[in-house]
Chains A and B, each alone.
Chain A
Amino acid sequence: MTAPTAGGRVVAPLTWRVARLVERRVETATAQTLVLDVPGWPGHLPGQHVDLRLTAADGYQAARSYSLAGPAQGERIEVTVQRVTDGEVSPYLIDTYAEGDPVEVRGPVGGWFVWQTDGTEPVLLVAGGSGVVPLMAMIRARRAAGSRTPFRLIYSVRTADDVIYADELRRRARDDQGLDVAYVYTRRAPEGWRGEPHRIGLADVNSHGWPPALEPLCYVCGPTGFVETAADLLVGLGHPTRRVRTERFGPTG
């Protein structure tokens, strides 16, 4: 097997592998992490994603992309699934898919929305809702690699109850040196948070990001509208377009 690809390294074409569920963790009322065992998994880089494919009894197939939530641990990978009401795939994965059940996995894929653990430039992560998943993979990989690269995460959520990985982020903001975490609440803010609930704006990105002069790498992930807004703010502040990497999540589920 070849190593994971990034930056255009040539590897063998991808095929679907059969994975099985080994563990499930509840993250919020609408999001769960699935731990999958994928025989022959070649490893992956933080920020990459997989395609999951389900096949119904009548042969109907549906595939969706999910970001990998953490560094690979042997043949175990993790994805965090946010329930999309009326979705075709996410309700099944959350309600019905059981330990030991098969699911087809194609990956890892992605060569652009990737953080190299030996990178030294400061990193700004901007997450909207479940867009935090690939950014959490970068945060986890940074610690695992013993990296000292300064990281800042701006995480936009509706309410405090919607924060995925809430306990872990609290712990890491305290223990992972050089990691800052700031939240933007769009619907209801917790006690003691300064300001009114609002959608992410210039002040948030300006106060909690890095100045362009430090030449940071910016990764923005979330729903398409959120990513548009945040990426435009960053470019407006003077960050070069090529250093603002985006991953838009669609309304499919």
Chain B
Amino acid sequence: MTEPSYLDGNMLDGPLRELLAVDLSATTGRCDNCGMTGPMAGLHVYSHAPGLVGRCPACTGVMVRLVRAPERAWLDLRGTTYLQVAMPPDQRLHPAP
């Protein structure tokens, strides 16, 4: 039996936390290809490419591409309609009556 060759979206957290202020695995994303919405931690991540490729677990559409070079990084989120991030409550958005 050959092992499937992908990992979880969890493993994108380290590389992406150099660019972003949140753990990607703690966010919810919508696949632009099939519309499925779920935790980005559930992505199937292929790490043996030139870079990291995260695919939708439902339709295998590519949702995230991350390529890292010594002095820059490319983050391609074309396949992700949106990322939903839990935030601390912001009173300014909901002023008290």
Contacts and interface: CB of A to CB of B under 8 A. Distances in A.
Interface of A: 5-15, 49-51, 63, 65, 106-107, 109-113, 223-225, 228, 241-242, 245-252
B39 A8 contact: no
The size class of the interface chain B forms with chain A is 20 to 34
Given A10-B88, A110-B25, A111-B22, A224 B7 contact: yes
A252 to B, nearest CB: 7
A113 B20 CA distance: 19
Given A13-B21, A225-B1, A252-B47, A5 B26 contact: yes
Contacts of B26: 5-9, 111-112
A225 B40 CA distance: 20
Contacts, number: 107
B25 to A, nearest CB: 4
A109 B13 contact: yes
A110 B21 contact: no
Given A8-B85, A10-B22, A106 B6 contact: no
B87 A112 contact: no
15 contacts: A8-B22, A9-B26, A9-B86, A10-B87, A13-B17, A49-B10, A50-B14, A51-B14, A63-B14, A106-B18, A111-B22, A111-B23, A112-B9, A112-B39, A113-B10
A245 B27 CA distance: 14
Contacts of A113: 8, 10, 25, 41
B23 A8 contact: yes
Contacts of B24: 111
A7 B6 CA distance: 24
Given A13-B18, A107-B14, A109-B14, A5 B6 contact: no
B19 interface: yes
Contact of B21 (A12, A112, A247): A12
Contacts of A14: 14, 17-18
Contact of B23 (A50, A110, A250, A251): A110
Contacts of B22: 5, 8-11, 111
B95 interface: no
Given A13-B17, A14-B18, A107-B14, A112 B3 contact: no
B88 to A, nearest CB: 7
A87 to B, nearest CB: 14
A6 B7 CA distance: 20
Interface string B73-97: 0000000000001111000000000
A113 B41 CA distance: 8
Residue from B1, B3, B13, B88 whose CB has the most chain A CB atoms within 10 Å: B13
A241 B57 CA distance: 12
A50 B13 CA distance: 10
Nearest to A8: B86
B61 interface: no
A13 B24 CA distance: 12
